[in-house]
Amino acid sequence: MSGKTRSVFGTAFKHFVNSLKPRQTLGIFVGDDYHGNKYYEIPADPRRGKRLPKRWYVPPVAMQYDQKHMPAEWDAWLRNRRAEPPSETELKDNLTLSITKKENADKLALRAGKNPEEVLKHSDMSSFPVYDEYEVTPGDGSKFKS
């Protein structure tokens, strides 16, 4: 016999056993970002039924996967929203633009008399607008929160 099985249970068992084995194909190093994340890819192989490439990243600190430490360009590449990985110049230009926007937002906050370091908490915001002509609690008759 060739060792191949056509039964559903045999195929499921073979896939289960293979899922426990470590990754046999090492990915191709594609690039890294300014946070220290390293990005890898296994290209698509339509002949074997793999239409999309397999992509992942390795964070600088083991087992600390955090979305806020990943540039949007790399996130789009990981999720197959873009075919080509971002270039170094694209990453640098977008980082410079975001820093400039943050600085300009801080300047506008200072002009408006607000502290740019002060963060508005979600609990400080109203979940919906309150209008004088509408009741807060329907059928209560009062127009203001008690």
The pLDDT value recorded for residue 18 is 83
Collapsed DSSP state (helix, strand, coil) of residue 32: strand
Cα dist. 132→105, 129, 135, 139, 144 in Å? Answer: 32, 10, 8, 15, 8
pLDDT bucket at 130, cuts 50 / 70 / 90 = confident
Residue 141 has pLDDT above 70, yes or no: no
Collapsed DSSP state (helix, strand, coil) of residue 14: helix
Collapsed DSSP state (helix, strand, coil) of residue 45: strand
* Average pLDDT, rounded, for the chain: 83
* Mean local confidence (pLDDT), 34-47: 90
The pLDDT value recorded for residue 119 is 63
Residue 85 has pLDDT above 60, yes or no: yes
Residue in this structure with the two tokens 């789009």, named with its chain if needed: 76
The pLDDT value recorded for residue 120 is 61
| DSSP assigned state of 68 | G
Q: pTM for the complete prediction?
A: 0.60
Per-domain boundaries in the chain: 25-61+74-86, 87-119
* Mean local confidence (pLDDT), 35-45: 91
CA 27, CA 25: separation in Å to the nearest integer? 6
